[in-house]
Amino acid sequence: MKKFNKGINYYMLHSSEVLIQMKNDKTFLLEETKSNKTFEYLFENKIIPYGAHVLMLINDDEKKWSTIHQSYEKRNLIILEETRRIFKRFSDRLHNIFLFENFGTILSINACLACFSSGDIDLSANPKDYYEIEKCMLELGYVKEIRRGVPDSIMTTFSKQKLLENKDFYVNFEWKPIARRYVKNMSNLHNRLEQFRKENIKVLDNGIKVLSNEALLYFNLLHVSIGHYYNTSPGIRLYADVDRLIRHTKDIDFKRLFTWAEEDKQSIRIFTTLKLAEEILNTPIQDCSQFVTKQTSKYSKKIIRYLWDVSSNSYINKTSILNQWKIDSMSEGMNLVKYACLRLIKLNRVKL
């Protein structure tokens, strides 16, 4: 597998820059459109529709890439309509549910609908509404099931058959801000999310609710760093959400972002994920070092050494379990032994 650097990997997520390169070089990425290994690479990195979007712009004589792109668009239009249907059912009964993470990002910034890759949607909901949500989903033809090995107290999954061709459709309700058991300051994040429900929700024209762009960016950064240790699957695609939110949002208040992070004790994670987005995707981020302490900067630099290979200028997309624990301990601003003790005896497990 190719490393994620500023070569083909980078351009798979930046179609606008591909068009610029093509003006100067008519053969730009031309060989990649013909290679059988390209699809394997896109599949492995879970960015098939992103790559198809780019490659159909370069050379699509056989309609290979446009056909793939159109198939995702067709599927995602069904998902969009189903999501709208779910929110319509909730509109008269529940008011504090909103669309989260990848699909929420795409709809919030009106990005290419076909570039929604996963096909599952994630909704944030208050645990107090559990039974009413379950009732609504059953009425809509869904069944509840255990999936991903995540306890029902953290996330509940509902599925529906025959909505999508050859695949069940899944809707995940996240009862915690991040679907993880052990986060030292989870109660802070829970309070932050409840604040956002009251102050930072926007309703799209189709009735679907999402967070405001800055609030969504904040939790996307935490989703990358807490939920995925910065580089577990789907890896690079998570940074694409961060990158596109920043590129499509005017005048992001980074100071406000770090005020939230400081209050929630998440400055290391927010700072590190932003720095990685800047390295990986050349995301236009202002200098945020003025908003963090020397200790935050120190821990962030240590974490990035596990995730960014300076010699090859590439993203490291796999780390050992031990290194994940090291990364997590540094993200909490703690040494590994202290962090391991807290995690193993579950002192940092918070019931919400």
pLDDT at 95 over 90: no
Give the pLDDT confidence score for residue 7 in this predicted structure.
67
pLDDT at 84 over 60: yes
Give the pLDDT confidence score for residue 296 in this predicted structure.
96
Strands 209-211 and 155-164: unpaired
- Distance set, CA 279 to CA 22, 235, 304, 312 (Å): 23, 14, 10, 12
Length of the chain: 352
In this prediction the pTM is 0.91
Beta bridge partners of 4: 315
Cα–Cα distance for residue pair 277/286, rounded to 1 Å: 12
Question: Sorting pLDDT into bands at 50, 70 and 90, what band is 29?
Answer: confident
Question: Sorting pLDDT into bands at 50, 70 and 90, what band is 48?
Answer: very high
Highest mean pLDDT of the ranges 73-87, 109-123, 220-234? 73-87
Q: Which two tokens stand for residue 221?
A: 């950064």
Q: Where are the alpha helices (DSSP H) in 200-335?
A: 213-222, 236-247, 254-264, 267-281, 294-305, 321-331
- Distance set, CA 54 to CA 7, 101, 110, 208, 266 (Å): 13, 23, 18, 28, 35
Give the pLDDT confidence score for residue 352 in this predicted structure.
45
**Mean pLDDT over each residue of the chain, to the nearest integer:** 88
Is residue 173 helix, strand or coil?
Answer: strand
Question: Sorting pLDDT into bands at 50, 70 and 90, what band is 1?
Answer: very low
pLDDT at 96 over 60: yes
CA atoms within 13 A on the CB side of 27: 1
Does residue 34 or residue 264 have the better pLDDT?
264
Give the pLDDT confidence score for residue 67 in this predicted structure.
94
Percent of the chain scoring above 90 in pLDDT: 57
Kindly report, residue by residue over 253-265, the tens digit of the pLDDT: 999 999 999 999 9
Cα–Cα distance for residue pair 299/333, rounded to 1 Å: 7
Kindly report, residue by residue over 189-230, the tens digit of the pLDDT: 999 999 999 889 999 999 999 999 999 999 999 999 998 999
Does residue 47 or residue 351 have the better pLDDT?
47
Q: Given CATH 3.90.1150.10, say whether it is the number of domain 8-344.
A: no
pLDDT at 30 over 90: no
By the 8 A CB rule, do 315 and 4 touch? yes
Give the pLDDT confidence score for residue 346 in this predicted structure.
63
pLDDT at 58 over 70: yes
